[in-house]
Structure 1
């Protein structure tokens, strides 16, 4: 396998790991939401967003969605922090 192909596979693997980590972080943050019905709504929204965007293969698009997800995570964490 060419060096460039290995780099691409490595980058794809790292992006996949980053997406999985973001998914886990979102669900951990959702567990901290005091309102159970809102928790369910957030879980469904998270699952739906990830499923709808799972088919993307373009690195730039994936990175854009990662940034969107990280922003959403920060907003959720801030909201939960204010609610406590």
Structure 2
């Protein structure tokens, strides 16, 4: 039985992967606060699709830009949630 061969990540790549996964989890936790199950599902689906579509990006600068976009999205979502309360 042949196993799946995964490339070894450099320390920098490993740390960036950790940041990406942390942001992903944090965004999903923020989405839990969104009112309405339909809204939550739409946001979750959109975030999952967005992260999946960028899963194969390996350029460090491109990943940093995507991380910043994700952080900005999360901040805007949090701001919208706090204003709606």
TM over 0.5: yes
- Unpaired runs of 5+ residues, structure 1, are 1-7
- Give the match for residue 46 of structure 1: 47
Runs of 4+ in 1 over 6 A off after TM superposition: none
- Unpaired runs of 5+ residues, structure 2, are 1-8
Question: Helix, strand or coil: the match of 2:10?
Answer: helix
- Give the match for residue 5 of structure 1: none
- Give the match for residue 14 of structure 1: 15
**Structure 1 residue 10 displacement after superposition:** 1.0
Q: How does 1:34-73 map to 2 (within 5 A)?
A: 34-73=35-74
In the alignment, the residues of structure 2 paired with residue 21 and residue 48 of structure 1 have an alpha-carbon distance, to the nearest angstrom, of: 17
Aligned length: 77
- Give the match for residue 23 of structure 1: 24
TM-score, normalised with respect to structure 1: 0.88
More helix by share: 1
